[in-house]
Amino acid sequence: MTEVVQERPRAKSLSRSPRVKSKGLPKPVLGLIGVLVFLALWELMPVLGIVKAKYLPPASEVLTALVADLGMTAFWVAVGETMTAWALGLAIAVVLGLVLGLVIGMSPFLRRFTNSTIEFLRPIPSVALIPLAVLLFGMKIESSLLLIVYACFWQVLIQVLYGVADVDNVAMQTARSYGFSYWQRVRDVVFPTMLPYLMTGIRLAASVALILAITAELLIGSPGLGNEITLAQSGGAIAGMYALILATGFLGVGINGVTRVVEKRVLSWHPSIRGEVTP
Amino acid sequence: MKTLKSLGYLLTLPLILLAWWWIATSGAANFFVPTPAKLAETFIDTWMGEKLLTDVLPSVIRLVVGVLAAIVLGIGLGLAVGLNRTMRAVTEPVFEFFRALPPPVLVPVLMLLVGINDGMKIAVIISGCIWPVLLNTIEAVRSIDPVQNETSRSYGISGLSRIRYQVLPSATPTIMAGVRQCLSIGLILMVISEMFASSSGLGFTIVQFQRSFAVPEMWSGIVVLGLIGVALSFIFQWCERRVLRWYHGLKEVENAV
């Protein structure tokens, strides 16, 4: 039910179009001003001595370090390791969540039967599994995968369950009386209704997966950007540490952007997206 | 009969899983997985005593303080930014970046800036939890029905009373969705900040058990974290039902039509 609240595209089309153009500077310019103000504040804080430059190097120094990083193979290898864990974990979680969600959601009995267990297991924070991951896998990618899959699985599963529950009863009964098989019902009736929910789940899971990939690398020491951050910190390369942190932020922004585009593409036929084009 | 049936639905699968766990572990001794009885025993021995006061309680207090502060700050700042179109446009890219930044990377930063103390742990929780609340508030205020805004204006409702009676109520459903995300992030950050740098707290204790290969104790710690997670989610659902009672009622009426 809260997920319905999160579905935002419809409201956007209402308030955006006529008012933005009315007066003032265009939006991208204002956004750029915001970024510049932020960078200026950051630059000034250590210079004016509000924070020690040892602890928070000025923005210029960090950005230089980031640019230097971009030219290094080691940096890209770390990014690759983080993204591998992210992609693998997300893929496994989506497949598991989708299949189990469909099977459980399609049967009223299974839905009631599993409800208490799901509601109990879901809020368990995946970081609680860190010690177990260390014990079982040590500093390998499997540790990251265990955490990522556990956290993302619930995001996807819950959305799929909501989606299957949202299927129109009349459509389902029509399909039944026309003699659709189980597989046909899943493919032609349930799947289209569920797809927007699934995409919301994947979008949420994608950012959760990045958080846990980085967490696992920070705490367990499996290879990747998070581990590089720990190394930079313990090595006293503070500007380098901030540069890596910025890099994880940009990864996050990139992931959010890509998932939003994919969502729009996949759901281009759906009223909530179509409505935005033809107000 | 009906309550019996729903009780059956509630308990059957957990009981089956428990039985399966018990059978699977009762044969050969498994180093990684303790038997249910052993785990329950360790759980009581480990946590139902001094540790409850010295480790669990401080962690939970830090979590609650951090999350509440993040909610208050997020809603306050979100209202201020959301009601002003220029501010919204200026802050959007920076806020989007901070939302996309995985919160755990803030732990090393705040360790440097604040030092290793309780303040740092609360700061970590606030700085990670504030973004979902803040951005959802901004989004909620932005997408308020224009008719409502114009009605307020025509009736001369402005300032604080407008926020209290028009803006906040229509924004609450979206804000609550943000609060829900913020809770789970808060719990993650509570554990992580303690695993990183601490000499007490739940996260520290669990890592300590794992390092000394005290496997049943480690599992019991995982159970404690799970229980806290479940408790938080129930408290949240209870609050949400109270705060949004009018909203769920409205939805029911709309759906019935």
* Mean pLDDT on B157-166: 86
DSSP state of B213: T
pLDDT class for A23, splitting at 50, 70, 90? Answer: low
Using only C-alpha atoms, chain A has a radius of gyration, in whole angstroms, of 23
- Decide: B141 and B78 in contact? Cβ < 8 Å: yes
What tokens were used for A223?
Answer: 């290879």
Cβ atoms within 10 A of the Cβ of A48, count? 8
Q: What angle do CA B69, B71, B77 make, to 5 degrees?
A: 95
pLDDT of amino acid A10: 43
Q: Which of A3, A34, A51 sits opposite B91 (nearest CB)?
A: A34
Can you tell me the distance from the alpha carbon of B5 to that of B2, in angstroms, rounded to the nearest whole number?
5
- Is A128 close to B226, i.e. CB distance below 8 A? yes
Can you tell me the distance from the alpha carbon of B131 to that of A253, in angstroms, rounded to the nearest whole number?
14
Q: Which of A15, A31, A211 sits opposite B143 (nearest CB)?
A: A15
Helix (H) or strand (E) run with residue B194 in it: helix B168-196
pLDDT tens for each residue of A119-157 = 888 888 888 888 888 888 888 888 899 999 999 999 999
Closest CA to A100 of A149, A142, A58: A149
For helices A238-266 and B85-100, what crossing angle results, to 10°? Answer: 110
Sorted by where each starts, the structural domains of chain A and their CATH numbers stand as: 59-267 (1.10.3720.10)
Closest CA to B106 of B85, B130, B88: B130
What tokens were used for A197?
Answer: 């929910």
- Decide: B134 and A6 in contact? Cβ < 8 Å: no
CA atoms within 13 A of residue B119's CA, in its CB half-sphere: 7
Q: Which of A14, A30, A51 sits opposite B86 (nearest CB)?
A: A30
Can you tell me the distance from the alpha carbon of A129 to that of A209, in angstroms, rounded to the nearest whole number?
15
Provide the strand spans (E) within chain A. Answer: none
Helix (H) or strand (E) run with residue A80 in it: helix A73-106
- Is B176 close to A15, i.e. CB distance below 8 A? no
Q: Quote the minimal CA–CA distance from B160 to chain A in Å.
A: 23
- Decide: A143 and A89 in contact? Cβ < 8 Å: no
Question: Does the complex come out with an ipTM higher than 0.90?
Answer: no
Cβ atoms within 10 A of the Cβ of B113, count? 14
What tokens were used for A100?
Answer: 């189990």
pTM equals: 0.84
The region of weakest confidence among A92-101, A204-213, B34-43 is: B34-43
- Is B180 close to A256, i.e. CB distance below 8 A? no
Cα–chain center distance at B234: 11
* Mean pLDDT on B227-251: 85
Pick the CATH number of B35-256 from 1.10.290.10, 1.10.3720.10, 1.10.10.10, 1.20.950.20: 1.10.3720.10
Cβ neighbours of A250 in B, within 8 Å: 97, 100
Mean pLDDT of chain A: 84
Assess whether pLDDT exceeds 80 at residue A5.
no
Considering only the C-alpha atoms of chain A, give the largest distance between any 2 of them, rounded to a whole number of Å. 76
Can you tell me the distance from the alpha carbon of B187 to that of A205, in angstroms, rounded to the nearest whole number?
17
